[in-house]
Structure 1
Amino acid sequence: MSGYETQPGFFEMCKNPNLDTTDWDWAIDPTGLEYIFRDIYCRYEKPLMITENGLGAYDELTKDGKIHDEYRIDYLRAHIKAMKKAMNYGVEVLAYCPWSAVDLLSTSNGVKKRYGFIYVDRTDDDPKECARIRKDSFYWYQKVIQSQGTDLES
């Protein structure tokens, strides 16, 4: 998505037909991440760090008590590959930190918009037991960390 100001302080979003979007219509653009990494690094020649990169989605707890979030794995994999591509061009990157480890409260979307590697079993209306359940992406990212980013496969 890109936006333009319709009135001072008010913006209207424009969908880029060449990009996929999240459940909340946020553009998914790993190529844009690589581009901006290279552009900023060329301008300022300072190491870069991603402090929050993640995908908010409607995660569903299956009957077998699991969360199969291949879409999150695909998102993170594509962005890590884009970052690595920028690094191959000489961009110095200090860290890549996904958002977030545990599902958290979204200021405008409650708990239905889930970001984490660990599912919190609750709804906006029912806190239930707040059980923590590791998603498929948890195990995938664990492998990414253990391999120091060399194993990005599921």
Structure 2
Amino acid sequence: MNKQQLLSSAKELQQVNHNTAKEYLEKSEILIGKINTKMLNREDIKNLIGENNLDMMKDNHANHARFIHSILTHYDAETLVDTILWVFRAYRSHGFSMNYWAAQLNAWIEILKEVLSEESYAEIHPYYNWMLIHIPAFVSLSDEKLGSINPVH
């Protein structure tokens, strides 16, 4: 999948309603705490993020929540795709494995289902599902930009 195809698929995502974005923001600290706990409790965390990257992972989770809130508030497919590609390049260059993204996004989905109202979860889940199913494309496209420096990550 090339970037244009990825962008076309992102354009199919629907803008969520104001109350959904508001609920995500209001519960973001709870969400961040839960994702950090869930990921830190994984036995394979060092394999997923590399050595000495726990603080970087926690920063990623906080940045993720802020970014997703901004996307939920003012959806722009190009911003979504470009930012995710940048994140993949940046974090993978620091030793985060591609498996981290699947583990993290699956954890977010579980936590969102637990914390958010059914209505908000139903509107937000397509974004997370879209990110999850497009991990191979993000890896491939970020490898191109990384110059395949670290293709197994």
TM-score by length of 1: 0.31
Higher-Rg structure is 1
Bigger proportion of residues as strand: 1
TM-score by length of 2: 0.31
Bigger proportion of residues as helix: 2
Q: Which structure's relative contact order is higher, taking Cα pairs within 8 Å and 6+ residues apart?
A: 2
